[in-house]
Structure 1
Amino acid sequence: MVDGNSDADDARGVAAWSRLMHIGAHEGDTSTRPELAELGVDDVHRICVRAWKYSRNDFEPDTWVELRRSQWRETCALAGSIAESLMLGSAAYIEAVWHQRAISAETEPAGMALAQRYLADGAIDDVVSVGHRLANFVVRVARTSSAAQAGLDSVERLRALGSIYVPFATDDHNAWLSLNSGTVARLRQVLDLTLHAASLDALDDLVASPEWIAAVSDRAERFHRWRKENEYVIGVDAESGTARDIYDATNQHIGRAVGGHGRRHKISDGLTVKNTDAAGSGLRRIAQTLDTILTNTVEVVLPGQHNGFTVSIDDPNRIGTRRI
């Protein structure tokens, strides 16, 4: 039933999704923007569109389930969120490479390396956040089954996702998982592996991948320890500055000399390029994981639990449900 006070067509004219090519105001000149295919981002875009198509199916196979509390519909919300963050990260990575090339070509100041690294750091943050959401997507796909809910109830650290969980309403932080090997191992204990093995394997592979390890390590350092200043600036590290320690013949510290321009900090040397490369690698890797999870969901879990019901995410001409 439609609420008489609402407009049944209030989504008319609203974009289904948006493929963001870059971030930043370029006054219309995008002629030097790196090509998606050149950086492997075209496949990331393809996978984002699959996730958006899954999301915009906005489905619930069971007509007796209240839509505002539909677990399947919450997985649609998560899929859209994942796709948007992955698209934003990809656009930030494009911008970072764009800056790198412009600096090399001397068409923009060398100081724009600060912007390059900022964009790369942001893309890495998106990789990590998407990874955590993928774990939450997988468990919410699984808990559409009452048997899975009972299994989640049996593990203390998963109990908040069990029978007490309410889609679109539960905000308990214990119901939102962090992606790590322990989380995947606990899920593997309680979920039906005939349905979810491919998704859990994909999460395990991601957690063990050098791309994920690099992204998580970089984010952890920047958030919890010391984010080094860009190598473009003077900065401070253990060996930099205008002062020098003086030692005697026995290597005992006896004083300090000051003068000259001093030594620049070197601890960040190469970090801008390193993070730019890590952003691209992480985005491509996590998109592959999303691709596998989406395929497992629509080809195995959905039809397996709902008598052949599934949704279309690969037909370029349609979004909709079907039976297989």
Structure 2
Amino acid sequence: MLFYKLNSILKGEYLMIRFFTAILVLVFAVSCSKGVEQKGEYIAKINDTVLTKEDIKNEMSYLPPELAGEFFGGSDGIARLVDEIVQKEVFYWEAKKRGLDKTKEFEKKIETLKKNTLIKQLLDDEMKSAAKVTEKEAKEYYDKNKEDFIRRNQVRLSQIVVKSEGDAQKVYERIQKGEDFAKVASSMSIEKASAKSGGDIGIVKKGELRKEIEAVAFRLKKGQVGAPIKLNGGIHIFKLTDVKGTPEDFEKVKEIIIQGLSREKEQDHFEKFRDGLKKSYKIEINKEAIAKITSGNQGKPGSKEQKEEKAK
């Protein structure tokens, strides 16, 4: 019946997916509202369950606004929503009639749901204030990192050009270990003109470079070295040595900074909270048992070892 309704209501695969999304959210919302005392004029009755206008509002509140308006807006939409809720109630009562709520499988799922819900509640409570970032903090970050917010018009680049990917990897690793870029460029780059000046190719404006180079050059931070990229004539490694442009106004980037700092604070607090809890509980890891599971999976269909064997 549901598929017939979908085909009559919706046209196109995209709309069908969005409708299924709305229904899935609704199923969860309805299943979570059982046991709440019903008040007000009833909209529908299913056995002893009464559906009221207030219940309809509650169910709509669980749905994202765009889905609620798209599929359940207007008088026809409300009627459709009521029909879906009634259908879920019928399924619910039929499941209880068959005793599915008494099975071990159901009890396991409920325990898993309870555990996950409690964990989410714990983390929500713990992180509530941890991720707060003040405007003062955002401004301090902005002032210390203005170069990150420059609207780049020009950049100064240095490069090292080598023939093979193997050479590029060796050069890149040397630079990552701390060797001076200019010295490596002078001794290793096959592009002799820039090699003479330590790889420096001067200041270039946006739009003057090939797209592949610009995609790297205008995203690097000052002093940062990009990963090797393959171009005609060899493998290139670029370093951004200077940036020219106008800094974005603080007000334009304030929210972006606050969001970024908030995520950092949240992650930092989460790690400290997690590590602290681990220390406060007695935890034992049986490495021998883990090793047995790992060895027991070797050679089984789909295992890493079997995939590697097939690849040979």
Normalising by the smaller structure, the TM-score range is under 0.3
Larger Rg: 2
More relative contact order in 1 or in 2 (CA 8 Å, sep 6+)? 1
Q: Which has the higher helix share?
A: 2
